[in-house]
Amino acid sequence: MGIKINENTSISFDIKSLSVIAVGLSIIIGMWFTLQNDIAEAKELPKPLDPVITRMEFDMKDQLIRQTIMSTQEDVQEIKDDIKLIKEKLYE
């Protein structure tokens, strides 16, 4: 058989339990208001700009990438030449 709850039912809490409930409730309410404040602030912030890339910017980046590749190729060729010289000196 279950417990019947009616207006004659008595519930008792000690002061420690009431204080824990009050602190927990105040933390939840504080977090709620902080979250609402953050949401309101975020709504007022400026919207980020669309990342539109202009043709000039694309061409400049493309040129920089191509220049970097060419520079890297030259460096690799120099390293290969150095390795050949080292091998020649090693086998002499």
Q: Within this chain, do residues 90 and 65 fall inside the same structural domain, yes or no?
A: yes
Mean pLDDT, to the nearest integer, of 70-83?
93
Asked if the structure places residue 59 within a domain, the reply is: yes
Residue 37 lies in domain: 14-45
Which band of pLDDT confidence, cut at 50, 70 and 90, is reported for residue 47? confident
Total tally of structural domains belonging to the chain: 2
The single residue listed with the structure tokens 């008792």 is: 12
Asked if the structure places residue 29 within a domain, the reply is: yes
Residue 31 confidence (pLDDT) above 90: yes
Asked if the structure places residue 7 within a domain, the reply is: no
Q: Within this chain, do residues 55 and 91 fall inside the same structural domain, yes or no?
A: yes
Q: Within this chain, do residues 30 and 60 fall inside the same structural domain, yes or no?
A: no
Report the C-alpha gap between 24 and 18 in whole angstroms: 10
Residue 79: C-alpha distances to residues 71, 86, 88 (Å): 12, 10, 14
What does the DSSP assignment read for 18-53? HHHHHHHHHHHHHHHHHHHHHHHHHHHSPPPPP-PP
Q: Within this chain, do residues 41 and 66 fall inside the same structural domain, yes or no?
A: no
Q: Within this chain, do residues 56 and 86 fall inside the same structural domain, yes or no?
A: yes
The single residue listed with the structure tokens 């000039």 is: 56
pLDDT at 51: 75
